[in-house]
Copies of this chain bind each other. A is one copy, B any other.
Amino acid sequence: MGGSLARALRQAGMVGEIVGCGRDAEHLAKAKALDVIDRYSTDVAEAISGADLIVVAVPMQAMETVFRAMQGYIDKQAVMTDVGSVKGSAVAAAKRVFGEVPENYIPGHPIAGTEKNGVEASFAELFQERRVIMTPLENSRVDAIDKVRAMWQACGAEVVTMGVEHHDEVLAATSHLPHMLAYALVDTLARMDDSQEIFSYAAGGFRDFTRIASSHPQMWHDICLANQAALKKVLHRFHDDLQLLIDAIDNGDSEYLKITFTRAKLARDTYVS
């Protein structure tokens, strides 16, 4: 995500110097070799020194640690944002570290990404025609909101604003729940006796359906726990609905199946382009 953002901003001519920061120097060296970043440091304080705009692009569970490493080194005029999939826990981490959410920190979440990781998989067009959700808070500085918005718009994204809690509910339904189902399905099949043979008959539909199960396990582990409350709610709801579908198949309830499949097809064809 960080790599794609760097590429997009450079392509848009929106940046001076891009400084990469991470734990893995080899990874950062690769990013520099690919000209995705201009220089790098594994030291957070050094990396953010003098920065106008700081983008935290780390797994949810690392967010608090990174905020802590940043504390005291953020320039007065700097603007901060992040790309985390759960906004409630990002805001909570900021509160724990800074006492309150800094007025120059605008939580953000680009609804974009692939199941691939690493700077080699990054590309400047990732955010084109995608949505970015910002969840500014009451004390957020207007100029900081504008700066983060302008950054994403320069990457070709449409920027929308919503409340922290609402963001986490919407994403639990459209992103976190499907990821759970994809992981669970592949895992159920992987633990069957003849799993290798079963997978060998997987066709295009299965490939598409399970693509998100190739996503980064640590990242999704973090998201699950960071968005526990909202994810639990939709998971329980789905689990109950699936029970009704199972009952219908058990009982040969033709009507229930037709109505459910028809309603689902209509919703998808209408709302998911």
> Does A93 touch B at the CB level, under 8 Å?
no
Cα–Cα distance between A208 and B246 once the two chains are bound (Å)? 24
Q: How many residues of chain A have a CB within 8 Å of chain B?
A: 90
Name the B residues within 8 Å of A243 (CB-CB): 239
**Contact between chains at A206 and B264 (CB < 8 Å):** no
Identify which of B133, B179, B216, B265 contacts A215 (C-beta below 8 A). Answer: B265
Identify which of B131, B173, B192, B203 contacts A198 (C-beta below 8 A). Answer: B173
Main secondary structure of the interface of A (DSSP, over half): helix
Name the B residues within 8 Å of A267 (CB-CB): 186-187, 189-190, 195, 199
**Contact between chains at A268 and B205 (CB < 8 Å):** no
By CB atoms of chain B within 10 A, which of A170, A171, A174, A175 has the most? A174
Query: Which positions in A face B, CB cutoff 8 Å?
Result: 111-115, 130-131, 133, 170-171, 173-175, 177-192, 194-218, 220-221, 224-225, 228, 231-232, 234-239, 241-243, 245-246, 249-250, 252, 254, 257-258, 260-269, 271-272
